[in-house]
Amino acid sequence: MNDVITGIDLGTSKVCTIIGQSDKNGEIQIIGIGNYPCNGVKKGVVVDIDTTAFAIKKSIEQAERMANQKVLSVYLKIPGGLTKVYRNRGLVAVTREDREITHQDVERVLQAARIIAISSDKQIIDIIPMEYIVDGYGEIRDPVGMAGLRLEVDAAIVTGSVTAVQNMEKCVKRAGFDVAGIVVEPLATTEAVMTKDERELGAALIDVGAGITDISVFKSGNMVYSALIPVGGDHITNDLSVGLKISCEEAENIKKKYGSVLRVVEGDSNKIKISNITNKNLSEISINEIVDIIEARVSEILSIAYEQMNKSGVMELVSTNIVITGGGITFLKGSGELAQEIFNKNVRIGVPDIIGVSTPVYSAGVGIIKYMNGHKKNTYKNQNETTKTKRKMGSRLINKIKEIFNDFWA
């Protein structure tokens, strides 16, 4: 039976649900999509449980109808800027007579790496193996099947705020669903919009949402830096509303219709009418007035991201691309070119390469599906296989006992 995974992107402006199904070759197909407005999350943190729970329920119901399938449990994402990464090592002995390393040994060594002292307000979200070491030989990605006496792992232990995680889980449970796991957003999103070569050689991901901008840098396949900026696409809408004295709803519509950071040639054809919120009168403005307001805020967001990375010394690690994704600024004309000027690096817009969700708005949701399918599938599969093996052994034992009793009473 094909594996079905449901991922939820809790955003500042909406809740996005993606249902994905993997075929026998491990390829992902998106079978359900749900979107519902939500204002219960601010800066990546739940501030209204009831509002968020209602939006989660409605979003999942939309995805269920499209997929024609019921959802029981979901995976959530947490912004990278709300997490902290520690490095730790785990060590176990290989006790099998043939010294062959099994999936169970890998699970044991990962559990050993979990033993780390963290503050009471933090909890472990994920364990990412950086390399496995067998009898002193390192740089091993998958030790299963190898022979050895001692198995070690150098792992990244990802921790997050207990409060932030528990409130997200409460929202999902109040909506009537279980939480299957928490995924760190940059780790998931890169699966959807970044290539393996980019992650290996060095690249940065700038995920601009409605309320926050998540920054992360990858090198040698691992996340080496993560930060969060409390500004996003909603701030552009607010700037237009204040600057043009129009309602937020009209400002959002104007941003979507005329959104650009590139000035146009002045003329009557490049003017639009707006409704002044103070006196309700219609007035005429140039599209360049809109462009100037948008360009100022987009420049600020990208400049802050650049300063954060430069100050932390990770800019020099980016040898390939700056990948910009999310629904905050990617749809604005010229945003990629503006980013290239600010970062002085190659910049591209990151889009999922799956039919039906090939827009930056779905990057995080699709990333959750791809991350769980690629990184956790084998673990769950092995646990299921272990359970099946135990059931078979139990069944054989029962059959043997039945044979003994039949022989005895014959």
DSSP 258-292: H-BSS----SGGGEEEEE-TTT--EEEEEHHHHHH
- Residue 53, in any domain of the structure: no
Q: 386: pLDDT confidence band, cut at 50, 70 and 90? A: very low
Burial class (CB in 10 A: 0-12, 13-18, 19+), 38: buried
Residue 176 lies in a domain: no
Q: Is the pLDDT of residue 390 over 90?
A: no
pLDDT higher for 295 or 384?
Answer: 295
Give the mean pLDDT of 236-245: 94
Given a cut of 60, whether residue 299 has pLDDT beyond it is yes
* Domain membership flag for residue 368: no
**What's the confidence (pLDDT) of residue 389?**
39
On whether the pTM is more than 0.85, the answer is: no
Q: Assign residue 133 the CATH number of its domain.
A: 3.30.1490.110
**Cβ atoms of residues 106 and 182 within 8 Å:** no
Domain boundary among 129, 161, 193: 161
Confidence of residue 44 (pLDDT cuts 50, 70, 90): confident
Confidence tier at 277 by pLDDT (50, 70, 90) = confident
- Domain boundary residue, one of 146, 161, 176: 161
CATH classification of the domain holding 243: 3.90.640.10
Region 147-164: what's the mean pLDDT?
Answer: 92
pLDDT at residue 385, as a whole number: 39
pLDDT digits (tens, 9 = 90+) for 163-175: 999 999 999 999 9
Confidence of residue 393 (pLDDT cuts 50, 70, 90): very low
Q: Residue 13 falls within a domain, yes or no?
A: no
Report how many domains make up the chain: 2
CA 245 – CA 267 distance, rounded (Å): 22
* Domain final residue, candidates 161, 177, 194: 161
| Domain assignment present for 217 | no
User: Quick one: pLDDT band at residue 282, thresholds 50, 70, 90?
Assistant: confident
94 lies in a domain? yes
The verdict on residue 379 lying in a domain is: no
Please give the residue that has the higher pLDDT: either 280 or 213.
213
- Residue 282's domain comprises 233-288
- Residue 324 pLDDT exceeds 90: yes
Kindly give, in sequence order, each residue whose CB lies less than 8 Å from that of residue 210, ignoring residues fewer than 6 positions away.
Answer: 11, 12, 13, 14, 232, 233, 234, 327, 328
Give the span between the Cα atoms of 192 and 186, in whole angstroms.
10
Q: Residue 255: pLDDT band by 50, 70, 90 thresholds? A: very high
CA–CA gap between residue 15 and residue 37 (Å, rounded): 6
